[in-house]
Amino acid sequence: MESMTQLTHFENSEGTPAAGANLGRPGLVYHCVCGTEFRVDPTVGGECPDCKRIVQSEAIQHAMSATVSITNFQNDEEIHHFELEDSENLINRLYGHFRIDRKLGAGGMGAVYRALDTSLQRYVAVKIMRNAHHCVDSRVAMMLREAVAQARLNHPNVVTIYYVGRQGEEPFLAMELLTGPTLSEKLATDGVIPYADAIRYAVQVASALRHAAQFGIVHADIKPANLLMAGGGRIKLSDFGLSRIQNDPGQPTTVSGTPAYVAPELIQGSPISIQSDMYALGITLFELVFGRLPFELTGTTVRERIETHLTAEITFPPVWPNAIPREFAAIISRLLSKDPINRFATYDELLAELRAVEPVATTTAGVALRAVAYTIDQLFLLVFIAPFAFAIILLNWTEVPQLSAYRWATPIIAFFSLIVPAVYLSMMYRGWRSIGRYLFQLRIVEENGLRPRREQLVTREVLRNAFAWFSPLAFYVDSSNPILSRIFEVALVSFLGIDSAMILLLKGRKSLHDYLCNSRVALAVDREKESK
């Protein structure tokens, strides 16, 4: 199939409307996939008068050509497959102008072959479907028609379709040839996908689904097996064969999809929506990160396994991995809500949440910068704490009667000295950076590159500044219990020594307080560069 024209300007050489121009706004008509041409306003969209297909304004403004292949799943107490015979007798056979070269794979919906495009002399992937029992013309016609609709998608994360056709009773698609593997195959070999990669893949898939939604298309079969690795960290979404047009009264009412990924509302007869795809994406994302489904499918029949989605609860890992932000669990919980209303309203909203937990590339800060920044911070803290420490020393180590008479005020002064760390921690909790980190463009990140939780950051700052903050307390303890004071001082000095030694000696330049808080110090300029 050649690149399809969606928007057509019917004007003759003199600039006046030619025949057919009355179908649309002066100089502009929309050619629907059903063949009907009708007037359309690019700013508001329109509806085909024959097939009732909704055309959104975003789709018109980005009218292009491309998409993927077809698969099918139906469950009417049994599963009906489109399938191809197992023999290799299709080798060298022509499907249109595509000569079958070799088999790449097979599934319940048919088989995929590498084929030579004899017209353009390039290799493509050809997917061929055959119903082993009977061929229903209306079903095949509907699949081909939806494939034509999907061929208008043009997105870097969607497999490009080149041709849609039939060879006798066998529908086939010619599409972009990708070597893969699929994320399902990647999971089979690696067990899990690294969190950073999984989130980046999810962002790409959500972006592709947002583009499809602009055309009113819902994929309806999101799963790792339909996500192909295309190199360079890119994922491409494949197999739109189950895709539906939103609000299309002609769509079948049977439950379609893959049992492990079917949204619960579809089981109850609700219409398909973008939230249905979000549910499947949530299952997929959980599986990529943790190497398993979020809950176990139970039952002996397909329908029983599907109905697990109605009541099953998510089982997160009992011990949460340090490399994964807690916010990830909140996103998964929302995507897998039983009620589609509680999921994300739009893909823009979902993408914003995914990008918020997407790790970014960071450069670990050097020892010299950190040492200078730490010294500056300690000096500033000591400047504010010094008056309290000096007052305690003056009251407890002086022989002046007028001052020693006020030794009872020592614990009060020590208590008020806590104002300094309280103010400092309050500033850190609100997202401020310390003076030293601000001057040298340093920031604190989690192991995955995200900003630490506020509680985590406060704990880190308590440990990092322990020597400066607990000095007044050490002076107070020394005045009443010298032995306990020595223990206290040795503990502070030892902690400071171990903390500094780890930065100098261990790989990753992480201090003790960073290991305890699962954090690290990075250059703040990296995130700014990524945003440009």
Q: Is the backbone of residue 15 left (phi > 0), alpha (psi -120 to 50) or beta?
A: left
Q: Residue 228 in contact with residue 180, Cβ under 8 Å?
A: yes
Q: 301: how many CB neighbours lie within 10 A of its CB?
A: 12
Identify the CA nearest to 186 among candidates 229, 156, 235.
229
Is the distance from CB of 526 to CB of 361 less than 8 angstroms? yes
- What's the CA gap between 128 and 95, in Å, rounded? 9
| Tokens read off for 263 | 């949204």
117 is catalytic: no
Q: Single out the residue of 443, 396, 388, 441 nearest to residue 419, CA to CA.
A: 388
**Where are the strands (E) in 385-483, listed by range?**
442-446
- SS3 for 259-314, per residue? HHHCCHHHHCCCCCCHHHHHHHHHHHHHHHHHCCCCCCCCCCCHHHHHHHHHCCCC
Q: Which tokens is 408 given?
A: 């009872």
Distance, CA of 456 to CA of 226 (rounded, Å): 38
Place of tokens 């032995």: 483
Residue 521 pairs in a beta bridge with 444
**Looking at 50, 101, 197, 221, which residue is catalytic?**
221
Annotated active-site positions, please? 221
